Each structure stands twice: as structure tokens, then as C-alpha cells.
Amino acid sequence: MRVFKFGGASVKDADAVRNVVKVLQEVGHKDTLVVISAMGKTTNAMEIVVESYFKDKSSISSALQEVIDYHNGILSNLFENPKHPIYDRVKLLFEEVKGFLTWNKSPKYAFVYDQVVGYGELVSTTIISAYLNEIGISNTWLDVRNLIKTDNNYRDAQINWDRTQAEVSARVDMSKLNITQGFLGSDDNNFTTTLGREGSDYTAAILAYCLNAESVTIWKDVPGVLNADPRNFKETLLLEQISYREAIELAFYGASVIHPKTLQPLQRKEIPLHVKSFLNPKDMGTTVGKGIGIVPKTPCFIVKKNQVLLKLSSLDFSFIVEDNISEIFKLFHHHRLKVDLIQNSAISFSVCLDNKFNGLQPLLEELKKKFKVVCHEDVALYTIRHFDDNAVKSLQNGKSVLVEQRGKETVQLVVK
């Protein structure tokens, strides 16, 4: 069995859905499991619904209606018959969202987030599965929450591999075309969990691992894995073949084309990963596999924006040693800030953080009790794999470099 993954950009409107059909027809869809994300920017729109629930309940209805109208527009373009059963099925899914927001008593943001935001994937796959059946491509719709079992660490759930393996083995018919959702799982109480933002790639890898799939293909709006994000860099090159190790390094540092967790389960079973263009499905793309490819001959650029740089120093000029650092990292963990770079000296400690869960302010309050704290918000972290002097100079031009850290293969710059 093969596993395909289509992201939000590949299903953003009716024409995009038709293009997915074209891809499946061109490359074949027998014995295939297709993982599909929410349509377009639906996840962002559903996040606004969650924000409305906590900050201004009077705006929930209008925020959700925007999502409903968006999907209804796609439905009317795909299904000419306004009485097609798909309309009721989609309506029922949105009624479930409204019902949850009415009866929910939990004050926990992460829990509410997971119960609401995941409906983007449930709706998109329901629409696409129905459309495929409508045009004669028989398929089975699967609720991935019945397949991927996790703990209850909402918004960043960890996989229960034994239970997931058992459910996948029992529920997936490998002789059929299967359609399911990315990003989602469920806990022991069958509440929805999510695997972290952009987690659909990881979903594909989990299912491929459990199915002993022959390959995973991630369909993107770029030709494959490039040496830089074309949204941020003018000149880019395609990396046609790279090893698991190189791909993991690029993903770890923030390369957006592959989710950081995706490579680990694939590498364990040596399942090749293909990254290809859904606009040109017959093009070569990039293949990631065991020991294939050589080290890229060109520098690879990665940028993570909207980062936070903290510079901590001891109030009494005492050394910052293991005990201090251990305490600092416990605070990072407690407030859910992800560490992307560390640099320390005898009496100071610098760290670049990702504040995606908005834990910065309470963290600062605690740190200021014991340390002198300098905080730089909205900085960018640039990483260059296989750097040379020209590559480094190109990033330093016109920028204020706050931290620079060099290793044998990698240089990182925090710039303002």
C-alpha cells in the first residue's frame, strides 16, 4: 500500500479538488491511503472560532459562519444537485461544532482547541470522499480518530504506538482506496487530540509505519525539497535525493516542506518518502531514503520568523551552571516554549524560543525573580546547512545579528 498526503493548498477550492482527482488518475489510486488536511486556511479560521469562544462569545456565530460559507461555496461548485446527501453530512458536522461550544464546561484552551479545530479535516475529507464516489472513484472514508490513539496532551499529543498499530491493522482494508484526515487522533476517553500544527505529514508517516507501506508521497505546491523556501529566498535549487539524516536535520531546524516528526517512523522501517508537486505529478520531485543522495553541494537556508530571544544573566554575577539551567528548562517546558538555539557563558545564557503557545509573559514573570532578563521579540532565526562565507554574508547584510553560532556543518544567526 502507498500513502499519499495532500495539504491545505492542494484542496483550497473546487478546482484544487478536481486537480487532486487528476493526480490520482495520473499516478493511480489502487491500494492507496490518502491523508488530507483542512481546506485552504480553514485551520486558521477555526482558530478564530476558538479565540471567539474564550474572548467574545457574541462573535462565535459569525466566525463559524465564514467557515460554513467557504465550504458551501466549494460544495455548490462540486455537486450540482443541491439535495445531494453531502450537504446534510457537512451541515451535521458543523452542528456538532456548535453543539460542543454550547455544552462544553472545560476552561482549558488546549482541550477546546482540539475539539473544534479538527473539524476542518473532518469536513474536507467528507467532501472529497463524496466527490470521488460521485465521479466513479470508489473509496472508503475513515475517521482517523479511530486509528491514531494518543495521550491527552492536547495540541501536541504523543502517539500510543501499540494501540495505534492494533487499530490500523483491524480497520484499514489495504485493497481499497481509503480517505482519511491528517493532524488528528483521540485519547483514552475518545476526545479529539491534535498532533501539532502542520501535523498531517506526521499522520501519513504514522499510518505508513503501521501499514508497512511501500512509500509515502507528500504532494506540495513546490517541485520537491528545495535548498530554501521560495517565499523567502529568490533563487532556489531542487534537492533530488537526500538521506533520512539530512532530511531530519533540515526538518529539525525548521524546513517547512517536511514536518519534523515525519522522518522518524519512516526511517525505522526504511520507507521512502517522496515530495512531489501536485501541479506536475509526473515530475521527479525529491526522494528521501536510506543512505541515498550525497551531502547537498549548495548551502541550504532555513528561516523561522516571529521568534523570541532571551538573554539571562545572574543578578549576583554567580555562575550559570547545571542547577540554574535545569530550572530554566523546567520553566520552558511548563510554559510550553520550544527551544531552537542555546548559547551560554559563565554568567549569561541566551536562548531562542518559539512562543507558539503564548506562554512568554508568565515565563518572563518567573524568570525575572532570579535573573536579569533581556527579551527581544519578533526576531528571526536563520539556519544555513553546509554553509560557506558567501552564504553567511548574504544573511548578515543590512541586519542586526544578535547571536551567531557555528558548527562544522551548520551556522545559526538570530537577527533583528
pTM score above 0.75: yes
Instruction: Please name the fold of domain 2-213.
Output: Carbamate kinase (3.40.1160)
Reduced to 3 states (helix: H, G, I; strand: E, B; else coil), residue 61 is helix
Q: How far apart are CA 287 and CA 289, in angstroms?
A: 6
pLDDT tier, 141 (very low <50, low <70, confident <90, very high otherwise): very high
Q: How far is CA 406 from CA 219, 390, 403, in A?
A: 34, 15, 10
pLDDT in tens, 84-134: 999 999 999 999 999 999 999 999 999 999 999 999 999 999 999 999 999
Specify the CATH number of the domain 300-415: 3.30.2130.10
C-alpha cell of 405?
Answer: 553560532
Report pLDDT for 323: 75
- Cα separation, 86 vs 74, whole angstroms: 12
Smallest Cα–Cα separation from 158: which of 148, 145, 146, 168?
148
| pLDDT reported for residue 95 | 98
Higher pLDDT pick, 398 / 276: 276
Q: Does the structure show a pLDDT above 70 at 217?
A: yes
The whole-angstrom separation of Cα 4 and Cα 194 is 19
pLDDT band at 399 (very low <50, low <70, confident <90, very high): confident
- Residue ranges of domains in the chain: 2-213, 300-415
CA dist., res. 159 & res. 151, Å (int)? 7
Q: How many CB atoms lie within 10 A of CB 155?
A: 19
Residue 370 has pLDDT above 90, yes or no: no
pLDDT value of position 232: 85
